[in-house]
Structure 1
Amino acid sequence: MTFSTLSRAILIGASSIALLAACGNNRAEEAAPTETSAPAASPETTAEMSEDALLDQIIAESTKAYFRAHPRNASYANLSAEDAGGRYNNRFETPGIAGVEERRAVAQRLKDRLAGLDMDKLSPKHREMAMILTAQDADLAELYSIADDAGYVLGGSYHSPYVFNQISGLHVDLPQFMTQAHGLSNAADAEAYVERLDAFYDLFMGDIEIFEANAGAGVLPPDYAMEGAINNAARFIAGEPEDNILVSHLAGTLEELSVENRDELVASAVAAVETSVYPAYEALLEMLRRHQDDATHDAGIWDIPQGDDLYAALAKVNGESERTPGGIHELGLAEVGRIHKAMEARFEQIGMTEGSIGDRLAALTADPEQLFPNTDEGREELLSYVRELAEEADDVMADYFLVMPSIGVEVVRVPEYAEQGAPGGYYLQPAEDGSRPGLYFINLRDTATQPKFSLPTLTYHEATPGHHFQLALAVDDKQTPLRVRQVASTNGFAEGWALYSESLAEEVGLYADDPYGDIGRLRDELFRAVRLVVDTGMHEKRWSREEAIDYMVANAGMEPSGVAIEIERYSVWPGQALAYKIGMLKIQELRAAAEEALGEDFDIGAFHYQVLRDGGAPMPVLKERIQAWVEDGGPAPELN
């Protein structure tokens, strides 16, 4: 997954502060303007402009307004202060409900200005950009209308109403942001870093305000999510301020940079952690503990006001599907059955014929031959193996893509402080200026959760040709405005592409001599099909957490402890997990239709180029794009 719930809750868009990645320098140091949206051009000016030029102007102005309202996303992209509408690296977004209203106003202003365009006067390229920017407007409006009517705020990752939970929220997001996204190249960057530490308390109090308002409207995370958030927050401030990762990260980086006033800056950071960061976490803990006894054990959002309607809308937005939750549930059951049959053949090939599919997967997962030692040496061995997989995939995929990313990907370990609630792997895209590569994170809290046969598929999903190809190629594409490339990478597209990439790896022979790895591929596809069942099971069919765990253990062959983490994630991010399988099926459907229509003229590289150009596209726009390409004969692009 592209992750940053760090916020992936996605990135991209108002609900996710982070699919973008960052690097450090002093690019963000000019004074920031105070307005939150740029003024529209005068009537005299716009009357003389072509419709394409008007759209270009709208995008340019709205991009600066967006990054002024979302300074963390500006850091992830490592924008210049000019491109971001002013200095941003010393501040966070406006806290609380006022900040939510500000960011929604910025989005509404863009929507209003785009509505004034004459789509018939736009060139094909500009028309598609306008379509990308507006593709989810109606679905998002429906989603937020439901929450507004019920009196709560969708302030969490992936439009979740749960602002703090066991996997996401400021208590998780901000430390990861500060250590992974805030650029540190000189003393000025370090001073801005300390200013952001000083701002922790106000930002936390803003989200505490949202949490309290939602609680008053009858919205609380499930009891296990509350407990997880409490444990995470308490663990983060268990040590002395001077030993906290927020201080040690700054100190270590400044030592590498040989900054002269390092000691003074580190002392300022310690003071900020003492007076802002720790009090913020303490205030959060006080609030969570005060509400803890009021939380229920219900796993689904059907339990909150208008929860059934909200879930249907979330399934549409996060899954980019017109299927009903009930229809998605049936699709999941059918896919589980189909994949079980495919796995049966592979298991016979390696001589495992006894027991259910789930039993055999569990046995293979526990096989010592498939496990790396749970030691520092074993973790390094695992990372080396994954790096070899990524390099091999790069070599093979060059024959199936017309354009390869110019920016590489690095395989790194999930920070130890974040391991407990983090997924098995995730990806952060390169800095917009290319100064920092893509990062493929592997969770090594316990190497038993990363058996060898599972790692090829995880690598093809997160790195090559999955998230890394999609997002690094988007960074390479400077002809398409950044804001368009951001919006294009919807949850459904990004995760659908990554899962399609897993099947592409099998198609091009990366599993040809590795039946165990192919079982890993099928296991992961099964995992995504099971997600359709358990996500809709909890939120639409009112399954308990335990019922969902039992179903996943029985059908996906995973350890109960790992399954519990997954189920609890789906519980607090309703609908997010639907995107993977539904998106994959849509891309495969579009490819099959193109192959049938074009016959021998079908070029797989040209198809992939169309899918990934401009950063991708929301699924309705992608469908129109591929259909137009097919009608034009499926030509290869003219590349410089």
Structure 2
Amino acid sequence: MKSVTTAALLTSTALLALASVATAQGTPKPATTEQTDKGETDEDANAAFDRIVDEATSELFKLQPAYASVLNIPEEQAGGRYKDRFGTPGIAGYEEMKAYSDEVEAELEGLDASALTPERQEYLAILLGDQENADELDAIEEKTGYYLAGGYNSPYVVNQIGGIHTNLPQLMTQLHGLASADDADAYVTRLGLFGEQFDGAIEVMNANAEAGAIPPDYAIDGAIAQAKMFVDGPASENVLVTHLTDTLPEIGVDDVDGYRQRATQAVEETVYPAYQRLIAALEELRPQATHEAGIWDIPEGERLYDALIVANGESELDGDGVHKLGLSEVARIEGEMEALFEEIGMTEGTVGERLAALTADPEQVFPNTPEGKEELLSYTRGLVSEAEGVMGEYFLVTPKNSVVVEPVPAYAEQGAAGGSYMSPAEDGSRPGMFMINLRDTAIQPRYTLPTLVYHETVPGHHFQLALATDAKETPLLVRQSASSTGFAEGWGLYAENFAKEIGMYKDDPEGDIGRLQAEMFRAVRLVVDSGMHAKHWSREKAVDYMVKTTGMERSDVESEIERYSVWPGQALAYKTGMLKIQELRARAEEALGDDFDVAAFHYQVLRDGGAPLRVLEKRIDEWIAKGGPAPKLAASDTAGSKEKSNEKG
């Protein structure tokens, strides 16, 4: 079953997802006397759980050495040397991970859950996940013969937004640690392994095509264009070579020319030929592709979409229900935007037309030049600093380290989202990073940037994922599973709205319009995602609806729509997750009254990096039943937070 956390690591094509959920290995907190005084049976069950988790963690690193690089953990913690290896490629690697996932699941299900400590009971629920839906995804694979090995259980393992052609360069240039000559040697060795990794991805892609799961034509075209761009130029000038040679002097490694020669040779003889084989395979596949945007067009596609609504959106709604919810939210948000537009004197045209006019306002657009992009980065970094100075009042625990703002690498700009967050390394060697897409500054107007910052950094993804990295007493497998798509993106959208609640937009009506546009953006996602995958909308119909409703740049909307088409259901998670977190907060406020403390609520929500929404609901209900207490925290746990009083609210 793919519900156990290792499912996210089934193939090399999952490396991009790994970058966003870096966590640290640990062991469960020791049971208290109260928890273990029931007798030897309880202790045996807890010891068995700890053993299974520890063994699974070690085996995970052995099967997926790239994941150890994501965390940048010591070799002894990973069970041996890993930095010069990748995991088993292709179908064999997928089946290897799936078999091990089944093995871990069977061991966990064999435990007597009632004998575990309350803490471990929650860990178990997180690790086992939604078994019924996992069984449904397995059944679809078995019936169709395609592998759900792409991002977010997609059958499209190579496409315009991700795949082996973008994920491996990202791993090498951003996540493969370079601190010594040995690291540099391992780097060159890994370059020599690109061929087998690419051939494995091609194998899965072709197997899925044979089973009828072929990406839309524009997704194939985008992947071909990206791959061709990556090999356009001398090997000696490729980013895989220049990243290494630029870094060596910084770490005190001599013989830069020797490493340049070795890396260039690996790129010429292995990397470039691997890309050319992928390009040829995609070009051979291209005539079989259709222009249909929806997953309904592949075998068992409608059934798969229903399962992905549950897996990615963590919602029990069907496609029609998602569509109706989206339309309702769009109408509500448009009403709120009308009032703000009147406040700034923009009263002509539809909401979408006024958004487009605001987006095109020269005062809102940074120059699309190197200097303009630096100005945009500086402005964004200032917003992060401002948020960090405010949010400690509303959180009992904040991350020990700040977040850095960096541009998306040029080779990934075209298909990448407007912004994304990459977790810090477990050992602190790499900070949390907010990656902002600067392919065209017009897609990042000034009035939208505060909301993007609050979502991706403070108090959004950086708070959530960096706190998970800091929580070293919680097992790696638990924290990696805790950040489900619905929780993570729901928290990001909740963070945007919380910034409004505490006055971050008080003197910035344009920024508040940006917040509502972002929420509108997520509501529109419900409409277009279900439109394409459940109601057979075309790509063009989805693009037109989103441009008209949000006022966004068409080029930006096209990238978004194409993303939703190859990651069915992923775009639902933002809105469905936010609504659940808001529902739980309202429930707590009503039940606790004056005893409700928002900082204590946030602690419960973000504890251990969060939890899948169904587990989070149980956690909050139990906290409410206890009276909503604030936890007793050590001084080291509250590093970065302001001193909290006993004030409520």
* Structure 1 residue 56: Cα displacement: 0.9
Work out the CA distance in 2 between the residues paired with 1:555 and 1:142.
35
SS of equivalent residue, structure 2 residue 393: coil
> Take 1:86 and 1:313, find their aligned partners in 2: how far apart are those partners?
38
Task: Quote the offset at 1:285 in angstroms.
Answer: 0.8
SS in 2 for 1:410: strand
Q: Does 1:310 align with 2:308?
A: no
Q: Which residue is equivalent to 1:378?
A: 372
Pick from 558, 563, 570: which aligns with 2:564?
Answer: 570
Residue 482 of structure 1 deviates from its aligned partner by 1.3
Tell me what 2:15 maps to: 17
Aligned to 1:357: 351
Q: Does 1:432 align with 2:430?
A: no
2: distance between equivalents of 1:147 and 1:265?
44
Deviation, 1:434, is: 1.8
* Pairing 1:178-189 to 2, within 5 Å after superposition: 178-189=172-183
* TM value normalised by structure 1: 0.93
| Equivalent residue in structure 2 for 1:127, among 118, 121, 128 | 121
1:596 is matched with: 590
Cα distance in 1 for partners of 2:145, 2:19 equals: 34
CA distance in 2, matches of 1:10, 1:543: 34
| Deviation for aligned residue 1:19 | 4.7
State the match for 2:551 in structure 1: 557
- Gaps of at least 5 residues in structure 2 are 25-39, 635-649
Ranges in structure 1 where 5+ consecutive residues have no aligned partner: 1-8, 28-45
Q: Distance in 2 between matches of 1:243 and 1:131?
A: 49
Distance 2:233 2:503 in 1: 49
In the alignment, which residue of structure 2 is the partner of 1:207? 201
Shift in Å, 1:258: 2.7
2:21/2:465 contact within 8 Å kept:
no
The equivalences for 1:200-599 within 5 A come to 200-599=194-593
Give me the whole-angstrom Cα distance separating, in 1, the residues matched to 2:195 and 2:277. 9
Give the C-alpha shift of residue 174 in structure 1.
0.8
Partners of 2:206 and 2:156 in 1: CA distance? 11
Q: Per-residue displacement from partner, 1:51-83 (whole Å, max 9, x unpaired)?
A: 112111111001111122222221111112222
Deviations 1:557-584 (A, max 9, x none): 1121111111000011111101000000
Deviations 1:422-456 (A, max 9, x none): 11111100001122210001111111111000000
- Correspondence for 1:95 among 86, 89, 92: 89
Q: Tell me the CA shift for residue 14 of structure 1.
A: 4.1
> Separation in 1 of the partners of 2:132 and 2:401?
35
Which residue of the other structure, out of 622, 633, 640, is the alignment partner of 2:627? 633
Residue identity matched to 1:185: A
Q: What is the rounded CA distance, in whole Å, between the counterparts of 1:11 and 1:409 in structure 2?
A: 28
Q: How far off its partner does 1:86 sit?
A: 2.0
Dislocated runs of 4+, deviation >6 Å: none
Per-residue CA deviation, residues 144-174 of structure 1 (Å, 9 max, x unaligned), is 2212211111121111101111111101111
Tell me the equivalent position of 2:65.
71
**Alpha-carbon RMSD:** 1.8
1:398 aligns to what SS in structure 2? helix
Moved more, 100-109 or 463-472: 100-109
Contact 1:208/1:284, CA 8 A, preserved across alignment: yes
Percent of aligned positions with the same letter in both sequences?
Answer: 58
Alpha-carbon separation, structure 2, partners of 1:396 and 1:274:
50
- Between 434-443 and 506-515, the greater mean CA deviation after superposition: 434-443
For residues 239-264 of structure 1, give each alpha carbon's deviation from its aligned partner in whole angstroms, at most 9, with x where no partner exists.
11111000000010012223123222
**Count of residues in correspondence between the two structures:** 612
Name the SS of the counterpart of 2:435 in structure 1: strand
The 2-side partners of 1:265 and 1:378 are apart by 35
Letter in 1 for 2:154: S
Partner secondary structure for residue 441 of structure 1 = strand
Q: CA deviation at 1:343?
A: 0.5
Q: Deviations over 1:288-309 (max 9, x none)?
A: 1111111000000111000000
Cα offset, 1:18, TM superposition: 4.0
Contact 2:6–2:97 under 8 Å retained in 1:
no
CA gap of 1:12–1:518, structure 2 versus 1, over 3 A, is farther
Q: Which amino acid aligns with 1:318?
A: N
**Cα distance in 2 between the residues matched to 1:48 and 1:637:** 25
